[in-house]
Amino acid sequence: MSKRKFFIFIIVTSLFSAACLWAGDAASFVDLGFSPDGKVYMFAQYGIESKTLRPWADLYVVDVPKNNFVSGGRISYVHSTPVVSGQDGSGALYRLIARNASLAERYGVDFLFQGQPLYVALNTGSRDGNSGETIEFRDFESGSSYKATLIPYVEGLGPNLKSSFYINVERTASNGTKSSYIVGTPQLKRPMISSYHIHKAMIAPRDGSLIFVVEMRKISDDGHDIRYMVEALRL
């Protein structure tokens, strides 16, 4: 066997092994920044469809005080052809952002005004179950500490499975004052989502907007797809 054929064999074997370790496609989360007043937040996710190998991307703009999307704040794109070997699908995101540059301008989003991470999960993508979780983290600049408990609700089986969740947030300020918040839309039942996990918590550089990035595991024909959403809290 020639060196070239041997090298190609190694690549194919490695890709096959990776596919066996993870079935379904996993999105990558991208923090695109806040408006200067912290009232608007933009994020994106992108990936490669596991069956078609076509790159895709989603772009979102969130009204932080309302914890909801702004008008026209959800845009998706799927490329018509598969990725070239070695690509990660990010090209679909770049095209989507370029085509919708006016969206960031309209809501004053500054790509350099990104969130300050307060908590990042270490084992994202490898967790399962729907029993919920509690995380604790601290904002060292303000001196506030946080305890967040994600409470999921899952019903049905197979094609009838649907789920929802909310997050209980307890904040202790530097002076000891405690505040409680409930974040999320528990009445919204999402089809085929089997579990939720807090992937990241971050705060706006100014004006106290807290963002929870939530990882969702969606049942697919070949396993689970990983997708992301956010819950926003104006402190």
Mean pLDDT of the 175-192 span: 96
pLDDT above 70 (res 9): no
Band of the pLDDT at 15, cuts 50, 70, 90?
very low
pLDDT above 70 (res 124): no
Report the pLDDT value the prediction gives residue 86, as an integer from 0 to 100: 87
Report the pLDDT value the prediction gives residue 127, as an integer from 0 to 100: 54
Domain edges within the chain:
23-234
pLDDT above 50 (res 204): yes
Band of the pLDDT at 23, cuts 50, 70, 90?
low
What is the spatial distance between Cα 31 and Cα 40, in angstroms, rounded to a whole number? 12
pLDDT above 80 (res 192): yes
3-state SS, one letter per residue, for the chain: CCHHHHHHHHHHHHHHHHHHHCCCCECEEEEEEECCCCCEEEEEEEEECCCCCCEEEEEEEEECCCCEEEEEEEEEEECCCCCCCCCCCHHHHHHHHHHCHHHHHHCCCCCCCCCEEEEECCCCCCCCCCCCEEEEEEECCCCEEEEEEEEEEEECCHHHCEEEEEEEEEEECCCCCEEEEEEECCCCCEECEEEEEEEEEEECCCCCEEEEEEEEEEEECCEEEEEEEEEEEEC
CA distance readout (Å), 78 to 58, 130, 220: 9, 30, 18
Q: What percent of the chain has pLDDT over 70?
A: 86
- Report yes or no: 189 and 165 within 8 Å, Cβ to Cβ: no
Band of the pLDDT at 16, cuts 50, 70, 90?
very low
Report the pLDDT value the prediction gives residue 18, as an integer from 0 to 100: 39
Handedness of CA 180, 184, 187, 193 (dihedral sign): negative
